A and B are shown apart, each in its own frame.
Chain A
Amino acid sequence: MKRMVAIKDLPREEFIELGHAACAGCGATIAIRHALKALGDNTILTVPACCMSVIQGLYPKNGLCIPVLNTAFMTAGAAASGIAAGLKYMGKDKEIQLMAWAGDGGTYDIGIQALSGAAERQTNFIYTCYNNEAYGNTGMQRSGATPYGSFSTTTPTGKLQHRKPFTRIMAEHGIPYTASISAAYPRLVYETYSKAKDIHGTRFIEIHTMCPTGWRYLTWDTVKMGKLAIDTGIWIMWEKEGDEWRFLGRSKRIAEGKIERKPLMDYLKPQGRFRTLIKNPERVKEFERGIDREWEILKKRVGC
């Protein structure tokens, strides 16, 4: 594997301008900033309804420095399929990068059909799901990605179901590249997109994107919260390239037993969305059982 690039060696060029409309402490903005640094300016973006519909800025201005097709909620995979077909017709499918950038609601829930169809058709594009674990743009309603026990405005006493193992669902589509990473590690974001851009076919990258507004923690704790998600093991970083599954970053060290998973409460306590959950030890245990199960499945896939 390529050596990690140093922060000082990341491209200086920015493709998301100052003055965008993201909340303070937005993890998704860290994610797109570093993803686009890797993809460069010869990139077309399509964005369904999600926080990025707002973050990019209001008409007649736009804070993204690449062409953007905003599209309807459930259509990121389908709109990208049309663009990919057009680029192929023009003979530009190898030179121009195409990326769909969708939230977890637009991916796990309403957009799964269009995405699954695009993957099955081996559409040549990168699909990013930036996962802030709820319908962020509409004010934090539950999604298929909302963690067990979490408050949302439509589960005010805490969600009763575990989240979908969505990244694995995409990996099992047999696409050439799948990755699960975190916005808390911008160099890894950059590295992942640098690798993905050279692969042909459907590439699915899911980024855990911290959200102070929805998760109810202090805005300056965004990176800390993202790192705690990794260290407590509630989010696992891994990739599947071809048929090979491997853990990434600190998740790899956890899997290899080099570091211990931190206690789950370290992650739950600072976040207002888990305030009800942490009062119920049985439900905290159920949350943990879900996490353990995902680790076991992934360890089998990786073969360790």
Chain B
Amino acid sequence: MSKIVSVTGNHSASWAARTAIPAVIAAYPITPQTTIVEKIAEFVENGDLKSEYVRVESEHSAMAACIGASALGLRTFTATASHGLALMHEMLHWAGRSRLPIIMPVVNRSLGPPWNIWVDHSDTMSQRDTGWIQFYASNNQEVYDTVLMLFRLCEDPKVLLPGMVALDAYILSHTFTSIEVYEHEEITDFLPSYEAGHWKLDPKDPMATGNIAGPEYYYELSYAIHEGFEAARKLIPKVEADFKKHFGRQHGGFIDTYHCDDAEVIFIALGTMGEEAQLAVDELRSEGVAAGSARLRVFRPFPTEQIQALAKKAKAFVVVDRSLSYGHLGGLVTEIRSALYRGKQTIPVQGVIAGLGGRDVSHMDIKKIIKIGFDVADKGEPKPDIFYGLKR
């Protein structure tokens, strides 16, 4: 039977692994992800989780080991953060290009130097083009649920891509809330066992993967990955609807919108900042200000149509990035402007950088940022990018 447990965001991820029962887990500790893999070790050694657990000697090896196990056609799981994700970079491409549905929670943390262990989205944003589906969660239950949804989505024969769910360091990773968790048997209708239909390492049907393919083939293989993402785009609403049918919860599909229908200014962000924004919107609404919040849950495949639809009603977007592409601007605002440029409806999109390296962004800050959006809406054009809260 399902039960309520009081857990951190990290342990929510560990519990999701326990529920899904990956055949192989290969992982390496890194702050602030460590408690995910520690809890998994406890589950495995107590006999609560019958996975083969490989305590590898680096994150690069963790992903390589996951690739090896997944290549046998087995369900596979790992977790990392920050420098660990950066070290994995080569193998993230290898997993994506091998079409292996490895699932990985990533605890969003800054990159050094200086050493800094607090929330920042630079780590996952840097992995945008590796062929991984990317979700961002905003609470512990969503972390747990998204891991299960990702297994279902990524293992689908039309998708066959690896998937990561990002959760903010400390704000989620080390903060306790109550969540509902399930035994494996309770989820098998929603998440059946994984059957690798494309290829696997099997001496009875020998096949090679990854050997040299020249210019004659590489382009088409890349396009096939793109098709996998387009299949995921179609499937995400179905997976979320099916999840709701089984477990009674949903988290907003591609974009978790809040008071967007009649909003003049919409605040857009990833992760916990998107949830914090709902509080800011509530306060602004009580002051008679028509603000809304749109928290992007899915960054890849990018929800272009949904962003275009939001722009039909609003007068301006303010987009806050918790990362910075040096010499340009935040990754999220770039994508949103690109999505609007491709559509018929364009509105001013204000870029804001905030909260780098764990700098707190409270609902009070978000209210101020949204108010900037109203200036932008009045003028009809965005200001130069704003570095909110920068001390100079």
Contacts and interface: CB of A to CB of B under 8 A. Distances in A.
Contacts of A78: 26, 56, 58, 60-62, 64-65, 68
Contact of A83 (B61, B68, B205): B68
Give the size range of B's interface with the partner: 35 or more
Interface in A42-60: 42-44, 46, 53-54, 56-60
Contact of A114 (B52, B53, B61): B61
A218 interface: no
Contacts of A66: 203, 206
A228 interface: no
B213 A89 contact: no
Nearest to A117: B57
B211 A81 contact: no
Contact of A71 (B64, B202, B206, B213): B64
B369 interface: no
B360 interface: no
Interface string B1-13: 0000000000000
Nearest to B94: A72
Given A67-B203, A78-B65, A85 B210 contact: no
A90 B91 CA distance: 24
A136 interface: no
A121 interface: yes
Nearest to A79: B68
Contacts of B53: 85
Contacts of A90: 23, 72, 74
B201 A70 contact: no
A71 B210 contact: yes
A87 interface: yes
A74 interface: yes
A284 interface: no
A121 to B, nearest CB: 7
Interface of A: 41-44, 46, 53-54, 56-60, 62, 64-72, 74-75, 77-90, 96, 113-114, 116-117, 120-121
Interface of B: 23-24, 26, 51-58, 60-62, 64-72, 74, 76, 90-91, 94, 201-203, 205-214, 217
Given A68-B206, A69-B209, A84-B68, 15 more contacts: A43-B203, A57-B211, A58-B211, A58-B214, A59-B217, A68-B207, A69-B210, A71-B67, A75-B61, A78-B58, A82-B24, A86-B68, A87-B72, A89-B74, A120-B57
25 contacts: A57-B211, A58-B211, A62-B207, A67-B203, A67-B206, A67-B208, A69-B68, A72-B64, A72-B91, A75-B60, A75-B61, A75-B67, A78-B56, A79-B64, A81-B26, A81-B54, A82-B65, A83-B71, A83-B72, A86-B23, A86-B72, A89-B51, A90-B23, A117-B56, A121-B55
